[in-house]
């Protein structure tokens, strides 16, 4: 499911079939579609498939559209240290470059309770093509390419998207109590370009995640990982998020990163971040210093 700028600049919801065809959907947004499926006691995939039978094709290719954030999520939450790689890199940044004895990162990796933190609000979250900003008080900033779960108000998984949990390694490494400042600022979270309906995914632990970073049109970083390396189950993460909490239809839960650029790498003004999950899409965002924002 995508959202793009349609006629009269109005957001338009659309479905993309596995063959790559795009059809307009008669809903205000993703949540409106979920509510309609609920009213009809149907599932989102059955509802969409039924509509596609007599729906109008968009008539343009995906890369000709101005894709918008696929869901204006009230809240984005994130899980942390869910992959071995994340634990090891966080041990490194918090120990001044030395690998140290057991830390709270080791402890949370092994603990029953996962790390879940608040990441973003509707206004701080951007979509494909929009600019992610850098903080001016950090010299060590990276994208965190993550699979995002789109949830309903009970914490059930409605679909999968791509997320970038922008992070400041120096701020987090200085003191774990600085985590909100290392994670949350203007345009520090990007999601999109599509939501893959959960029912259409055979095995969500087989998503490949690829991250590429371009500097002056040259690729300066590329790495890939698989959600098969995840230490936790999605249900485990969702149940901790929903427990004793209040969540909303369309809440997004990022599931943690398994890709971390080399320790001498920091994002720069003018870079472009590209995160691809085959079967969902490619999330591209230019990077800018806030002082240079236009
Ligand atoms: O522990 C801090 C944040 C972890 C995180 O964002 C991740 O593992 O992706
Ligand atoms: Mg993260």
Query: Under a CB-based contact definition with an 8 Å cutoff, are residues 237 and 115 in contact?
Result: no
Instruction: State which of 68, 84, 110 marks the end of a domain.
Output: 68
Are 106 and 224 members of one domain? yes
Give me the number of domains the chain comprises.
Answer: 2
pLDDT value of residue 249:
97
Predicted confidence band of residue 294 (pLDDT cuts 50, 70, 90)? low
State whether 35 and 85 are in the same domain.
no
Regarding whether 18 and 79 lie in a shared domain, the answer is no
Residue nearest (by alpha carbon) to ligand 1 atom 3 = 80
Residue 18 has a pLDDT of 86
CA of 44 to the centre of ligand 1 (A): 31
Residues linked to residue 149 through DSSP beta bridges, in sequence order: 160, 253
154 pairs with which residues across the strands? none
Confidence of residue 19 (pLDDT cuts 50, 70, 90): confident
Q: Between residues 279 and 93, which one has the greater pLDDT? A: 279
Query: By residue range, what is the domain housing residue 35?
Result: 2-68
The answer on 80 and 58 residing in a single domain is: no
The predicted-structure confidence for 93-117, as pLDDT tens digits, reads as follows 887 766 555 688 989 999 999 999 9
CA proximity to 155, closest of 258, 248, 47:
248
Residues paired with 125 in a beta bridge: 189
Q: Is the ipTM of this complex over 0.85?
A: yes
Q: Whose CA is nearest to atom 7 of ligand 1?
A: 80
Residue nearest to atom 5 of ligand 1 (CA): 80
Q: How far is CA 293 from CA 138, 192, 269, 270, 287, in A?
A: 17, 22, 10, 11, 10
Q: Both ends of the chain: CA-CA distance in Å?
A: 30
Which residues, by Cβ under 5 Å, contact ligand 2, an ion?
144, 165, 257
pLDDT band at 141 (very low <50, low <70, confident <90, very high): very high
Asked if 193 and 286 sit in the same domain, the reply is yes
Ligand 1 centroid to residue 81 C-alpha, Å: 5
Nearest ligand to the CA of 83 is 1
Task: Return the beta strands (E) in the chain as ranges.
Answer: 2-5, 11-16, 22-24, 67-68, 75-80, 115-121, 125-126, 132-134, 141-142, 145-151, 157-165, 167-168, 189-197, 208-215, 218-226, 251-254, 272-277, 281-289
Residue to mutate (ligand 1; options 83, 87, 104, 117; most atoms within 8 A of CB): 117
Please state, in angstroms and rounded to a whole number, the distance separating the CA atoms of residues 171 and 181: 7
Give the mutation target among 81, 82, 117 for probing the ligand 1 site: most ligand atoms within 8 A of CB.
Answer: 81
Q: What is the pLDDT of residue 53?
A: 85
Tokens of 47: 């509802």
Q: Are residues 43 and 100 in the same domain?
A: no
For residue 280, which of 148, 144, 156 has the smallest C-alpha distance?
A: 148
Last residue of a domain, one of 11, 43, 68: 68
Claim to verify: residue 58 and residue 106 sit in the same structural domain: no
- CA of 220 relative to ligand 2 center, distance in Å: 21
Q: Are residues 81 and 180 in the same domain?
A: yes
Nearest Cα neighbor of 280 from 215, 213, 221, 200 is 200
CATH number of the domain within which 187 lies: 3.90.850.10
Same structural domain for residues 177 and 85?
yes
Residue 93 Cβ < 6 Å to ligand 1: no
Is the distance from the beta carbon of residue 271 to the nearest atom of ligand 1 less than 6 Å?
no
Q: Which of 43, 68, 93 is the last residue before a domain boundary? A: 68
The more confident residue out of 185 and 19 is 185
Q: Are residues 243 and 155 in the same domain?
A: yes
Ligand 1 in contact with 253 (CB < 6 A)? no
89 lines ligand 1 (CB under 6 A): no
The Cα 127–Cα 11 span in angstroms is 13
- 216 and 274 in a common domain: yes
Q: Do 49 and 121 sit in the same domain of this protein?
A: no
């Amino acid at each position: 499911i995508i959202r793009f700028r349609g006629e009269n600049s109005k957001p338009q919801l659309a479905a993309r079939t596995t063959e790559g065809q795009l059809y307009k959907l008669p809903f205000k947004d993703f949540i409106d579609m979920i509510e309609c499926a609920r009213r009809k006691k149907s599932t989102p995939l059955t509802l969409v498939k039924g509509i596609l039978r007599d729906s109008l094709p968009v008539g343009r290719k995906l890369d000709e559209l101005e894709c918008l954030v696929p869901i204006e999520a009230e809240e984005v939450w994130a899980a942390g240290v869910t992959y071995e790689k994340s634990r090891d890199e966080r041990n490194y940044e918090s120990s001044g470059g030395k690998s140290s004895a057991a830390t709270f990162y080791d402890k949370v990796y092994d603990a029953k309770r996962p790390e879940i933190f608040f990441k973003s609000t509707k206004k701080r979250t951007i979509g494909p093509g929009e600019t992610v900003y850098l903080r001016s008080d950090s010299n060590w900033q990276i994208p965190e390419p993550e699979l995002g779960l789109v949830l309903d108000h009970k914490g059930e998984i409605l679909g999968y998207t791509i997320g970038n949990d922008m992070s400041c390694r120096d701020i987090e490494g200085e003191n774990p109590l600085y985590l909100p400042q290392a994670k949350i600022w203007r345009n520090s979270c990007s999601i999109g370009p599509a939501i893959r309906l959960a029912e259409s995914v055979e095995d969500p632990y087989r998503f490949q995640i690829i991250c590429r970073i371009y500097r002056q049109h040259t690729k300066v970083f590329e790495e890939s990982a698989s959600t098969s390396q995840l230490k936790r189950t999605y249900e485990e993460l969702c149940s901790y998020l929903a427990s004793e909490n209040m969540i909303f239809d369309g809440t997004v839960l990022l599931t943690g990163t398994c890709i971390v650029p080399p320790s001498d790498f920091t994002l720069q003004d003018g870079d472009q971040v590209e995160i691809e999950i085959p079967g969902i899409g490619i999330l591209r965002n230019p990077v800018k210093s806030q002082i240079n924002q236009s």
